[in-house]
Amino acid sequence: MIIERLVVGPLEVNCYIVADKDTKEAVVFDPGGDVESIIEILDNNHLKVKHIINTHTHFDHVGGNRRLQNATGAPILTHPDEAFALTWAKERAILFSSTSENSEASGYVCEGDTIEVGSIRIRSLDLRGHSMAGLGFLFEGDLDWNGERKWRRVLICGDALFDGSIGRTDFAGGSEESLVKNVRTKIFTLPDDTILLYGHGNPSTVGQEKKVNPYYSPSAEPSK
């Protein structure tokens, strides 16, 4: 399995390329900008993009959607409840003195859906709360992590969770109650060695977050 992280766009969003190293099929998560750099990595690894996926549709995560779609022909996927925001990302960015580009969803992803990329099976989780219908994407594969290659579980969680905190909930469609519930029941219940890939900042693991995140509560975990 191939995982590449690029920091893109004016607000330094983490864009992730996940690919099957044998079939060369790939999916690009949150191409927030700097599409030329994304394409360079795709070309250098001889990857073909099967899907462009947005964890959520805030303008900083979707700014490169249209250009990447034009370059690769790949469909744009996100949750249907907030896909409408893709069509006015540029106007929204201006309100924050930033930049983005408008695009349109080609299809939709909801909790429980599975996206196949070669031999990789990516399962979607509903992590709404930072946005109206934010998504996480959980998958497993053979991966080099901190110099050790082994089978790993990985969660791309957008802006639902950060190192030592959670995402903002004061935007339109946000809900702190929903976000805390989803983080506690769907992320902190994953095995401690699960790698967490955030929408901004450096990666961590579930075990590490349980040590430092004030939103972790053992009592909130379902009994096993």
3 state SS of 148: strand
| pLDDT tens by residue, the chain, 224 residues | 999 999 999 999 999 999 999 999 999 999 999 999 999 999 999 999 999 999 999 999 999 999 999 999 999 999 999 999 999 999 999 998 899 999 999 999 999 999 999 999 999 999 999 999 999 999 999 987 777 788 899 999 999 999 999 999 998 899 999 999 999 999 999 999 999 999 999 999 999 999 999 988 776 555 44
CA separation for the pair 160, 182 (Å, rounded) = 9
Q: 30: left (phi > 0), else alpha (psi -120 to 50), else beta? A: left
The answer to whether 44 and 4 are in contact (CB under 8 A) is no
Domains in the chain: ranges and CATH: 2-220 (3.60.15.10)
